[in-house]
């Protein structure tokens, strides 16, 4: 049984990371957080120990799952790898590609297993979409449209969270938070890489203190000959959070939607209209824990077999490079290479 440490004790660690790894068969040894009261509560829920020192926890575990603010992802993962501890890391891997690259190099040097927590990769509907596209079901791809909209920062009267602070979450804001999911899903489904982006970003809501990274982004992208139109928002009220990606091709179209209601997939012939498809595996209900259970199982199996699981740290770095390019494009008001 793989002994794992939970790094972070916020809502995502409590609701997603810890229950997913517990259900996947890992033994939760301990919890480390800079907020001791939260660490104690989460540790008690699993009969584990709350550690006051990260270094002490690393002595007792085979792996860690990192669910902390973005500025700590790379330092915690790098320190774990240096101790020979496998790492499951929340996206983004860092506040910029340089941090993500350094993390990846540290893991490679240590020879440990690393994985990026890109939630959509664990959804059966996304897996079905990938299989259809790999079979050539859409023919020649024409263009891609994608959105990831949520309202988790949609109330300007609440205190400004760390996600809206560039020093902690990086300059991308919503681009670094939701963007990696959308960018990675586009790469994964099409097998194509992002080459150039043209972007506009904006801070939409007035907060106290003010947000120092953007709430929303509009992005044009070129992916190895495929054009993409992408939209991101963390202040999008009026509907449940949704990650949606649509591909149009010479033989038809495919639309994938992931959200609180679960994963859904539609396909249309050319000419024709959309009809909903049922994936070979029953669709998940909700966003987060169901997909993470699949990812946790892959990570644990990768440790047992000594083989890197997917999505890899390389996938996390590729997504981070798109984030950085979007930030540069929005600053310069010009196309920027990824």
Domain CATH code at residue 241:
3.30.360.10
The per-residue pLDDT for 34 is 95
User: Two tokens at 296?
Assistant: 């946790």
Same domain, 136 and 105: no
Confirm whether 212 is domain-assigned: yes
Token output for 214: 């953007």
Do 76 and 216 lie in one domain? The reply is no
pLDDT of residue 143: 98
- In whole angstroms, what is the distance from residue 4 CA to residue 63 CA? 5
Indicate if 197 and 250 belong to the same structural domain. Answer: yes
Collect all residues with Cβ–Cβ distance below 8 Å to 61 and sequence separation of at least 6: 3, 4, 5, 29, 30, 85
The 10s digit of each residue's pLDDT in 233-289 is 999 999 999 999 999 999 999 999 999 988 999 999 999 999 999 877 776 777 888
Per-residue pLDDT reduced to its tens digit, 162-189: 999 999 999 999 999 999 999 999 999 9
For residue 102, what are its two tokens? Answer: 């350094």
Based on the fold, state whether residues 16 and 111 are members of the same structural domain: yes
SS3 38: helix
In a domain, 40, yes or no: yes
What are the pLDDT digits (tens) for 50-108?
A: 999 999 999 999 999 999 999 999 999 999 999 999 999 999 999 999 999 999 999 99
User: 160 with 240, same domain?
Assistant: yes
Note whether 107 and 199 are same-domain residues. no
pLDDT, mean over the chain: 97
162 in a structural domain: yes
Q: Are residues 40 and 58 in the same domain?
A: yes
Looking at 117, 149, 181, which one is the last position of a domain? 117
Q: Which domain holds residue 169?
A: 121-290+319-337
Task: Mark which of 117, 146, 177 sits at the end of a domain.
Answer: 117
């Amino acid at each position: 049984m793989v002994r794992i440490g939970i790094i972070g004790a916020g809502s995502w660690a409590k609701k997603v990371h810890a229950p997913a790894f517990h259900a996947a068969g890992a033994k939760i040894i301990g919890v480390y957080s800079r907020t001791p009261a939260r660490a104690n509560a989460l540790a008690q829920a699993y009969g584990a120990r709350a550690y006051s020192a990260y270094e002490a926890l690393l002595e007792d575990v085979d792996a860690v799952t990192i669910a902390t603010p973005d500025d700590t992802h790379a330092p915690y993962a790098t320190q774990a790898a240096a101790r020979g501890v496998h790492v499951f890391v929340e996206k983004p891997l860092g506040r910029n590609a340089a941090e993500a690259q350094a993390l990846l190099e540290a893991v490679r040097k240590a020879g440990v297993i690393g994985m990026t927590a890109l939630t959509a990769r664990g959804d059966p509907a996304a897996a079905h979409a990938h299989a259809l596209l790999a079979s050539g079901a859409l023919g020649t791809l024409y263009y891609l449209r994608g959105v990831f909209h949520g309202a988790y920062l949609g109330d300007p009267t609440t205190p400004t969270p760390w996600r809206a602070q560039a020093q902690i979450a990086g300059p991308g804001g919503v681009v670094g938070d939701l963007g990696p999911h959308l960018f990675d899903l586009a790469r994964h489904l099409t097998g194509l890489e992002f080459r150039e982006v043209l972007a506009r970003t904006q801070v939409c809501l007035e907060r106290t203190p003010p947000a120092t990274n953007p709430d929303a982004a509009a992005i044009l992208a070129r992916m190895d000959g495929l054009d993409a139109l992408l939209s991101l928002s963390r202040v999008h009220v009026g509907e449940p959070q949704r990650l949606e990606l649509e591909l149009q091709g010479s033989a038809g179209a495919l639309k994938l939607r992931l959200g609180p209601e679960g994963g859904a997939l539609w396909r249309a012939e050319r000419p024709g209209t959309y009809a909903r498809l049922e994936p070979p595996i029953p669709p998940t209900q909700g966003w987060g824990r169901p997909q993470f259970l699949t990812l946790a199982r892959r990570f644990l199996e990768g440790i047992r077999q000594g083989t890197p699981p997917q999505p890899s740290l390389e996938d996390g770095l590729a997504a981070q490079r798109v984030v950085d390019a979007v930030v540069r494009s929005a600053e310069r008001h010009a196309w920027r290479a990824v």
